[in-house]
Chain A
Amino acid sequence: MNLDELFAVTAEHAARTDREAAFPVEALDVMRANGMLGFVVPTEHGGGGGSVTEVLDLTLRLAREDMSVAMIFTMHCQQALALVRHANPELAARVLPRLARGELYLASVTTERGKGGHLLSSESVVHSDGSHLKIDRDAPIVTGGPHADAYLVTVLAPDATSPSQVSLVYAERSEVDVEVLGGWQPLGMRATRSVPMRLTGQVPVRNLVGEPGGFREIVTGTFGPLAHLGWSAAWLGTAAGALSRVVQFLRGEAGRKQFDTTSELLLTGLAKVRGRIDTVHSLLRNTSRVVESTEDLTQPPVQLLLNTLKITAAEQCFTAVDELIELVGLRHGYLTGSPLRLEQAFRDLRSASLNYGNQRLYLANGTLSLLDQQVRLV
Chain B
Amino acid sequence: MDANFPAVLQPFLKYAGGQEITGESRLRDLGLDSMQSIQLLFAVEDAYHVSLPDELLTDDTFATVGSLWAAIESVRPAAQEAS
A residues neighboring B (CB under 8 Å): 120-121, 161-162, 164-165, 213, 216, 220, 296, 298-300, 363-364, 367, 370-374, 376
User: In the complex, A161→B27 CA distance in Å?
Assistant: 12
Question: Given A298-B59, A372-B54, A161–B29 Cβ distance below 8 Å?
Answer: yes
| Shortest distance between the CB of A371 and any CB in chain B (Å) | 5
- Inter-chain contacts of B59 with A (CB < 8 A): 216, 220, 296, 298
Question: Given A161-B15, A161-B29, A298–B35 Cβ distance below 8 Å?
Answer: no
Query: Closest 5 interchain pairs by CB?
Result: A298-B59, A162-B15, A371-B57, A164-B28, A298-B58
- Inter-chain contacts of A364 with B (CB < 8 A): 34-35
Residue ID in chain B nearest A213 by CB atoms: B29
User: In the complex, A315→B38 CA distance in Å?
Assistant: 27
B11 touches A (CB below 8 Å) = no
Residue ID in chain A nearest B51 by CB atoms: A373
Residue ID in chain B nearest A301 by CB atoms: B54
B residues neighboring A (CB under 8 Å): 15, 28-31, 33-35, 37-38, 41, 54, 57-60
User: In the complex, A161→B30 CA distance in Å?
Assistant: 8
- Inter-chain contacts of A363 with B (CB < 8 A): 35
The answer to whether A374 and B29 have CB atoms under 8 Å apart is no
Residue ID in chain B nearest A372 by CB atoms: B54
Residue ID in chain B nearest A162 by CB atoms: B15
Question: Given A161-B29, A162-B15, A371–B35 Cβ distance below 8 Å?
Answer: no
Question: Given A367-B38, A371-B38, A371-B41, A164–B57 Cβ distance below 8 Å?
Answer: no
| Shortest distance between the CB of B81 and any CB in chain A (Å) | 24
User: In the complex, A299→B62 CA distance in Å?
Assistant: 12
| Shortest distance between the CB of B75 and any CB in chain A (Å) | 14
- Inter-chain contacts of B60 with A (CB < 8 A): 296, 298
User: In the complex, A121→B60 CA distance in Å?
Assistant: 19
User: In the complex, A370→B34 CA distance in Å?
Assistant: 12
Question: Given A299-B58, A300-B57, A164–B34 Cβ distance below 8 Å?
Answer: no
The answer to whether B54 and A374 have CB atoms under 8 Å apart is yes
30 A-B pairs with C-beta separation under 8 A: A120-B33, A161-B15, A161-B29, A162-B15, A162-B31, A164-B29, A164-B31, A164-B33, A165-B29, A216-B28, A216-B59, A220-B59, A296-B58, A296-B59, A298-B58, A298-B59, A298-B60, A299-B57, A299-B58, A300-B54, A300-B58, A364-B34, A364-B35, A367-B34, A367-B35, A367-B38, A371-B37, A371-B41, A371-B54, A371-B57
Residue ID in chain B nearest A300 by CB atoms: B57
Question: Given A162-B15, A298-B60, A373–B54 Cβ distance below 8 Å?
Answer: yes
Residue ID in chain B nearest A299 by CB atoms: B58
| Shortest distance between the CB of A329 and any CB in chain B (Å) | 45
- Inter-chain contacts of A298 with B (CB < 8 A): 58-60
- Inter-chain contacts of B28 with A (CB < 8 A): 162, 164, 216
- Inter-chain contacts of A213 with B (CB < 8 A): 29
| Shortest distance between the CB of B11 and any CB in chain A (Å) | 16
- Inter-chain contacts of B15 with A (CB < 8 A): 161-162
The answer to whether B29 and A162 have CB atoms under 8 Å apart is yes
- Inter-chain contacts of B29 with A (CB < 8 A): 161-162, 164-165, 213
